[in-house]
């Protein structure tokens, strides 16, 4: 049974066709890659599925339940976690607060509890904190727990963002260029982190990436998006050989 199912999704920004008849099926536990040149509409696909924009046409469903018309926080709460290309962290908050706050939808106390510091609120806060520390441990960033994110190294910030996304207990995780701006060593580390995360949390992953090495190592299936349309789909090795993909990335070979 498929976990996430997107069918014939089309989106226009005014007169610009950003995504055209996009389709996607992700099985539980799968790692799916989405590649394509700049401006191909990869991030738009993310934003459409996560509810930031509503698609002009098409259907999106998670475990058979439609996500259309839901607001972004509802989409997220139904099990869809994501990271952002330019890491949208909360610059005045500590690492621990980031991960704790992503438990928002799971909080079991109301406003009255928050105002008067009820026993239930304290118990809930303790539970959330414990859970947050478990996630920090998993991403190996416990020692930064009480630091403001702004001053942390780039690689750590990336891990904070992933830990935060995992705190919403996603069934499927969207990673938008997790290696942007990373050195080759950090890239290898990130591959390890994503593997570990995939094995430990049993989460399916949809990955936008530019670096083919990364995609080839991690993904089971890859889609190539050009001008909002899927031009090729298959296993990484198939994609690598596909002439349409090579053309989109490197341009047409010219006969001298």
Partner 1 sequence: MELLKAKTLSSPVAWRSGIRQAFADVPALAWLLGMLGAVLIEYLWGDTLAVMLYLPKVPPLFGATLVLKKPLLFPWALLYGLLIYVLPIGVIARVSAATANRVAKALERLPVSVSALLHLVLLYAVLSIWTENSDYRLQVSKLIMIAVMLTLSINVINGYMGEFSCSHPGFMALGAYVASVLTLVLFKDNRLFGPALLPESLGPFLFPLVLFIGGMAAAFGALIVAIPSFRTRGDYLAIISLAFLFIVKSAIENIEWVGGPRGLGGQPHWSTLPAVFAGMILCIWIINNFVRSTLGKALNAVRDNEIAADAMTVDTRRTKMVAFMFGAFWAGVAGGLYAHEVRHVTPGSFGIQMLAEILAMVYFGGLNSVIGSIVGAVSISMISEILKPLGLYKWIVVPLILILVMIFRPTGLFAFRDFNVRKILRHKG
User: Is position 3 an interface residue for partner 1 (rule: CB under 8 A)?
Assistant: no
Cα 75-80-83 angle, rounded to 5 deg: 110
Q: Which of 26, 128, 203, 206 binds partner 1 (CB under 8 A)?
A: 128
User: Is position 88 an interface residue for partner 1 (rule: CB under 8 A)?
Assistant: yes
Q: Which of 8, 27, 39, 117 binds partner 1 (CB under 8 A)?
A: 117
CB 138 within 8 A of CB 163: yes
- Collect all residues with Cβ–Cβ distance below 8 Å to 175 and sequence separation of at least 6: 82, 83, 162, 194, 205, 206, 207, 208
User: Is position 115 an interface residue for partner 1 (rule: CB under 8 A)?
Assistant: yes
CA-based nearest residue to 36, from 250, 225, 230: 225
Q: One symbol per residue from 4 to 33: x for binding partner 1 (CB under 8 A), - otherwise; what is it?
A: ------------------------------
User: Is position 97 an interface residue for partner 1 (rule: CB under 8 A)?
Assistant: yes
- Interacting residues with partner 1 between 58 and 77 (CB under 8 A): 71-73, 76-77
CB 167 within 8 A of CB 173: no
Number of neighbours of residue 90 by Cβ within 10 angstroms: 13
Q: One symbol per residue from 230 to 249: x for binding partner 1 (CB under 8 A), - otherwise; what is it?
A: --------------------
Alpha-carbon torsion (20, 217, 51, 156), positive or negative: negative
Q: How many helices (H) and strands (E) does the chain have?
A: 10, 10
CB 147 within 8 A of CB 174: no
User: CB of 241: closest distance to partner 1 in angstroms?
Assistant: 36
Structure tokens at 77: 């709460």
Q: Which of 5, 103, 171, 221 binds partner 1 (CB under 8 A)?
A: 103
Residue 113 host element (H or E): helix 111-116
Residue owning tokens 């935060």 = 164
Mark the segment that binds partner 1 (CB under 8 A) among 88-96, 185-193, 208-216, 221-229.
Answer: 88-96
The 3-state DSSP class for residue 60 equals strand
Q: CA-CA distance, 115 to 111, in Å (whole number)?
A: 6
User: Is position 84 an interface residue for partner 1 (rule: CB under 8 A)?
Assistant: yes
User: Is position 125 an interface residue for partner 1 (rule: CB under 8 A)?
Assistant: yes
Mark the segment that binds partner 1 (CB under 8 A) among 13-21, 123-131, 215-223, 243-251.
Answer: 123-131
- Interface size with partner 1, residues (CB under 8 A): 39
User: Is position 92 an interface residue for partner 1 (rule: CB under 8 A)?
Assistant: yes
User: Is position 145 an interface residue for partner 1 (rule: CB under 8 A)?
Assistant: no
User: Is position 100 an interface residue for partner 1 (rule: CB under 8 A)?
Assistant: yes
Q: Looking at the DSSP assignment, which residues form a beta bridge with residue 14? A: none
Chain residues binding partner 1 by CB under 8 A are 50, 52, 71-73, 76-77, 81-82, 84, 88-93, 97, 100-105, 107, 109, 111, 113-117, 121, 124-125, 128, 164-165, 167-168
């Amino acid at each position: 049974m498929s976990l996430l199912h997107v069918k014939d999704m089309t989106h226009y920004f005014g007169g610009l066709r950003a995504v055209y008849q996009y389709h996607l099926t992700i099985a539980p536990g799968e790692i799916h890659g989405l590649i394509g040149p700049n401006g191909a509409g990869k991030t738009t696909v993310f934003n459409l599925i996560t509810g930031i924009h509503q698609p002009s046409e098409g259907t999106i469903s998670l475990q058979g339940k439609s996500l259309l018309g839901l607001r972004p926080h509802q989409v997220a709460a139904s099990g869809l976690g994501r990271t952002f290309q330019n890491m949208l962290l909360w610059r005045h908050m500590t690492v621990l607060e980031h991960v704790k706050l992503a438990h928002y939808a799971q909080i079991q106390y109301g406003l009255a509890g928050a105002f008067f510091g009820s026993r239930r609120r304290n118990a809930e806060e303790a539970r959330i904190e414990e859970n947050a520390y478990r996630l920090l441990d998993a991403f190996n960033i416990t020692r930064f727990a009480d630091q403001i994110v702004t001053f942390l190294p780039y690689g750590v910030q990336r891990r904070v963002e992933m830990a935060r996304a995992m705190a919403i207990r996603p069934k499927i995780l969207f990673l938008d260029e997790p290696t942007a701006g990373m050195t080759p060593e950090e890239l290898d580390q990130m591959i390890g982190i994503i593997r570990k995360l995939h094995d430990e949390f049993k989460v399916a992953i949809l990955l936008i990436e530019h670096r083919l090495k990364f995609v080839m190592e991690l993904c089971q299936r890859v889609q190539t998006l050009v001008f909002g349309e899927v031009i090729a789909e298959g296993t990484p090795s198939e994609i690598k050989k596909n002439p349409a993909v090579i053309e989109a990335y490197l341009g047409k070979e010219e006969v001298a």
